[in-house]
Amino acid sequence: MLPTLQERVSETTRETLEEMGVAVRVSTTVTRVQPEWVEVEGGASIPADITIWAAGIRAPSVLASLDGLAVNHINQVKVTSSLQSESDSNVYALGDCASCAMTGEAPVPPRAQAAHQQAMFLFKALCARIDGRPIGAFTYKDHGSLVSLGSPTAVGSIAGITSTGKFFVEGFVAKLMYAALYRKHLVAVSGLRRAVFTIAAHGLGRLLTPRVKLH
């Protein structure tokens, strides 16, 4: 599970989920979903009242029909290291809809920090292009990951603090970091004033509304 994250993060996530009473089955391919059960490879079936499917990502199919732009098997536009389409250098793509191969490494992962870094790169690249300067190449820096596992806990790894480049956080500290990161994101997206009101409204809502929906 969580194959793109550090092994320790994925192992702790599994342990935490199991402590919460969740049965985790890895390397188990679902072959059929029925109203009352889910069938897995080998024919075994798991009883299920409610089934939630959350496997994998795929970019919108419209990308595969954009005037012949090269896309990969999950419809992401294939781009060079300068985020230009491999088929047309006048078309740029970034974030989840782009597949950007890094030299000798796995493609840039479909994550918020990657999309953010690519947006910052592209802003400078487009200014450079307008000015007739060279664009340069995008490099992805993994600053670590935090995984929220419900209200009491989270786990994660953060880059750049220890000599090994990453340190591991879990429980309340990770949860605090996750909450701080979310608020930082709110400020970036909505501006400081709106973010303060949103956070205050959310806090008040939590104080005033019941934890269980009553009607």
Ligand X SMILES: Cc1cc2nc3c(=O)[nH]c(=O)nc-3n(C[C@H](O)[C@H](O)[C@H](O)COP(=O)(O)OP(=O)(O)OC[C@H]3O[C@@H](n4cnc5c(N)ncnc54)[C@H](O)[C@@H]3O)c2cc1C
Q: Does 113 bind ligand X (CB under 6 A)?
A: yes
Selected from 13, 75, 95, 166, the binder of ligand X by CB under 6 A is 95
CA distance 73 to 92: 19
Q: In this structure, what DSSP letter does residue 97 have?
A: G
Q: Does 156 bind ligand X (CB under 6 A)?
A: no
Q: Which residue has the tokens 């997206």?
A: 189
45 in Cβ contact with 39 (< 8 Å): yes
Phi, psi (rounded to 5 degrees) for 54: -140, 40
User: Which span sits near ligand X by CB under 6 A: 74-82, 95-103, 157-165, 194-202?
Assistant: 95-103
100 in Cβ contact with 79 (< 8 Å): yes
Residue 97 CB, shortest distance to ligand X, in Å, is 6
Comparing CB distances to ligand X, the nearer of 45 and 152 is: 152
Comparing CB distances to ligand X, the nearer of 82 and 144 is: 144
Q: Which residue has the tokens 């491999």?
A: 86
Comparing CB distances to ligand X, the nearer of 44 and 102 is: 102
CA-closest candidate to residue 10, choices 168, 176, 177, 163: 168
Selected from 21, 43, 60, 68, the binder of ligand X by CB under 6 A is 60
User: Which span sits near ligand X by CB under 6 A: 74-82, 92-100, 128-136, 153-161?
Assistant: 92-100
150 in Cβ contact with 140 (< 8 Å): no
Q: Does 115 bind ligand X (CB under 6 A)?
A: yes
CA-closest candidate to residue 84, choices 114, 121, 53: 121
User: Which span sits near ligand X by CB under 6 A: 33-41, 84-92, 112-120, 169-177?
Assistant: 112-120
CA distance 47 to 26: 17
Beta partners for residue 79, in sequence order = 85, 100
Q: Does 62 bind ligand X (CB under 6 A)?
A: yes
Q: How many chain residues touch ligand X (CB under 6 A)?
A: 10
Comparing CB distances to ligand X, the nearer of 40 and 181 is: 181
Selected from 8, 14, 78, 111, the binder of ligand X by CB under 6 A is 111
Comparing CB distances to ligand X, the nearer of 135 and 140 is: 140
CA distance 111 to 46: 31
Residue 147 CB, shortest distance to ligand X, in Å, is 7
Binding site residues, ligand X, CB under 6 A = 60, 62, 95-97, 110-113, 115
